[in-house]
Amino acid sequence: MERRAPKMLVDYAWYQDGIGMIGLVPKVKLPPLTRIVEDYLAGGMVGAIKIDMGAIETEDIEVTLAEPNPSTIKMFGLTNGEEKPFTFRAAYQGPGAAVDRFKVQVYGRVYGLDLGELERKKLTEVPCKITWTKLKMEYNGEVLIDIDLLSGKEEVGGVDRRAGINAALGIS
């Protein structure tokens, strides 16, 4: 049993297309990952179970920019097949001096910008939505999740969850 105080997010950085956006991104909402399941209930069962349908429900990344950023606005013109890298890097620290590294990198495109209300002498917030086709999550260099929606790749904890499916389809 593990007993300790939780590690805290002490800082983070956001990168779009390899360029650091230090000081320009006050808020990031990483995409929740959800497996698509279906309730199944048959004769003799006392209750329904959720059956994995072999697919992932993709949700967007939501980034709040501190200004109408020209390089981000230009990415609104990207179409399918023109995805760019977006990277979230974070430092987590608990008791003591050790710092853990957390990284989420996606390949995606900006499809939503809200220039909203702009008011003098108030900080600007520009919410931005990014859809993705590839996602890789690492903790201290260990790959936890590696998903490529278009190539049928889904590795979780080092296990290729689609190996059998892809072999049956002749996809390598």
Q: What is the CA radius of gyration of the chain?
A: 20
Single out the residue of 10, 45, 170, 18 nearest to residue 107, CA to CA: 18
- Taking the C-alpha atoms of residue 37 and residue 163, their distance in angstroms, rounded to an integer, is 19
pLDDT at 4: 83
Could you tell me the mean pLDDT of each successive run of 10 residues in the chain, 172 residues long? 90 97 96 96 97 92 95 93 97 91 98 89 93 97 97 95 93 80
Single out the residue of 165, 172, 169 nearest to residue 55, CA to CA: 165
30 to 13, 45, 168: CA distances (angstroms): 13, 37, 33
Single out the residue of 58, 56, 60, 59 nearest to residue 35, CA to CA: 56
pLDDT at 128: 97
pTM value is 0.90
pLDDT at 117: 83
- Taking the C-alpha atoms of residue 108 and residue 129, their distance in angstroms, rounded to an integer, is 10
Q: Which two tokens stand for residue 5?
A: 């105080």
| Host H or E run for residue 49 | strand 49-57
